[in-house]
Amino acid sequence: MNEVDDYIAKYPDLTKSKLEQIRTIIKTEAPQLHESLKWGNLAYSNDTIMFILAGYKNHVGFHVTKTVIKSLKNSLITYQTTPGSVKFPLNKPLPTDLLKDIIRARIQEYEKQGILWK
């Protein structure tokens, strides 16, 4: 096991399952990104952080840039958000298509506009 596997393994089964599902989606949508731990959470990066994934008691936090959250605000209306993150409740199915949209939007803003992690 590596540090990322260890990070995921420490969570209860439901949280672990959601983290693994999101991890699989990220690896499929953005295989070029490096997976590691940053600030004690699961991070995906190249020369900047692209996403951070964190497990909590009742949700999984998916952290991106505030510009991605703002650009997808209409799609995120049913989720609790902050300027730079979305909370996906553990008791609901993950919105796979929405996750892909978030990942694609973050990659696109980085590649086309050079927006770094802030």
Q: Using an 8 Å Cβ cutoff, are 67 and 109 in contact?
A: yes
Q: Is the pLDDT of residue 8 over 90?
A: yes
Burial of 35 (0-12, 13-18, 19+ CB in 10 A): middle
* pLDDT in the model for residue 6: 92
Query: Shortest CA distance to 65 belongs to which of 48, 83, 41, 47?
Result: 83
If one counts the domains in the chain, the total is 1
**Which residues form the domain of 23?**
3-113
Q: What is the mean pLDDT of the chain?
A: 94
Query: Shortest CA distance to 71 belongs to which of 45, 98, 49?
Result: 98
**pLDDT category, 118, cuts 50, 70, 90?**
low
CATH at residue 18: 3.90.1150.200
**pLDDT category, 114, cuts 50, 70, 90?**
confident
The pTM for the full model equals: 0.92
**pLDDT category, 106, cuts 50, 70, 90?**
very high
Phi, psi (degrees; rounded to nearest 5) at 48:
-150, 160
Residue 118 lies in a domain: no
Angle at 15 between CA 47 and CA 49, to 5 degrees: 10
